[in-house]
Chain A
Amino acid sequence: MSFDELQAKWQAHDHGMRLNIDADLLLREVRRNHRALELQLWQRDFGEVTAAVLITGVFATLAVLMHQWTLLLCAAGSLFVGLFFVVDRWKQRRRRSVIENSLQSTIDASLAEVQHQIWLLRNILWWYLLPLVPGLVTFLVTNFWQSSEKEIAEQIVIAVVGLICAAAFWSVYRINQREIKKSLEPRRSELEELRSRLGPSNANA
């Protein structure tokens, strides 16, 4: 069978076109899905900011109750992370558009989004982990030296807490770097390949 015959059969085929659609029902479903997606994004942002605010509150409360003013540095670090989330999401949302004028711009927009995700995860040390470090280190070191005259057991507890914190930070860092390799870099390659397949010039389109 030639391609023209295939094309003729394709065009003659019904493809289920004559199915009677309940457009009202479908519209309601689409609007509900649209709201659900918006809500999902909002919940994600709200969750991240709430967590940062709560952690800030916990550190600040502990600082006051325990008279451990070094914990205020931890609170400041958490607050910085929360603010960073808010500003980053806000900037990204402003850039997000539903559909672009050409396929190339849609792919470019997706690519930019993936590249931003890679940038965020690759630099997680600087904007997520390090802001918390000065407060934690100051808190642990201060308590370690203050306890030196009392008991060795207290020093051991502080050292263990410090090690647990370091292990947790290292795990967060490694998990995020693995995510880049496992998921984001293949996605970026896929989009780059897609873009390269669009041809050398789109000028007259």
Chain B
Amino acid sequence: MTTDDQDAQFQRWIQNHLGLMVKVVRSFVDGAADQDDLLQDILVNLWSSIPSFRGEAKETTWIYRVSIQTAMVWRRGERRREKHQSSYMQEVMAVKSHGVDSEGGDDELIERLYSAIRQLPKVDASIALLHLDGLTYREISEALGISENYVGVKLSRIRSVLTERLGGSNH
């Protein structure tokens, strides 16, 4: 794969799936600076991972996998960056975090849901996010590299915990 192909693929993924990465970021870390740092790491890893993408998995599964794996082992302040390097990403993250285009008045509920997800253990948070996004057990299993049975076992508890934290009932 040439660098031009890699760049073109990356730009296409950014246009179509940046929101997905932002959701992963918001599900794992709070605070603008940390979110910006994590998004940068995800984007760099995604760009670097493109030559390894053989099309065996769906594009979204691959992007989820790279994003979640990066978020899972990410650690605050591990890498020092110069301030000017993240200017555009900070802008993207700030705009996306505030959901300028959102409709329907569910912002507060969604924000509480993000907060509830962040309180879960990291593996559970990943499963919760993928399940909320509508991925099947099989797709969650592929994205995370864990067994489908285990996804099932985990999900029943995660559903209860999230519903409880948001003051509802898990029916």
Contacts and interface: CB of A to CB of B under 8 A. Distances in A.
A198 to B, nearest CB: 5
A16 B102 contact: yes
B100 A9 contact: no
A34 B44 contact: yes
Contact of A40 (B73, B80, B89, B170): B80
B115 interface: no
Nearest to A196: B123
Interface residues of B, number: 78
B43 A30 contact: yes
Nearest to A99: B49
B72 A205 contact: no
B110 A13 contact: yes
A127 B106 CA distance: 59
Interface in B126-154: 126, 131-134, 141-142, 144-148, 150, 153-154
Contacts of B126: 103
A12 B105 CA distance: 11
B104 interface: yes
Chain B interface main SS type:
helix
B14 interface: yes
B60 interface: no
Nearest to B155: A3
A99 B22 contact: no
B122 interface: yes
A200 B131 CA distance: 21
A110 B10 CA distance: 25
Contacts of A18: 101
Given A3-B163, A202-B146, A29 B86 contact: yes
A105 B72 CA distance: 12
20 contacts: A3-B163, A6-B113, A7-B131, A10-B133, A16-B96, A16-B101, A19-B19, A23-B14, A27-B10, A29-B86, A36-B81, A99-B45, A99-B48, A99-B49, A99-B65, A107-B72, A191-B73, A194-B122, A198-B123, A205-B145
Interface of B: 7, 10-11, 14-15, 18-19, 22-23, 40, 43-45, 47-49, 52, 65-66, 68-70, 72-73, 75, 79-82, 85-89, 92, 95-104, 106-107, 109-110, 113, 121-124, 126, 131-134, 141-142, 144-148, 150, 153-154, 159, 162-163, 166-171
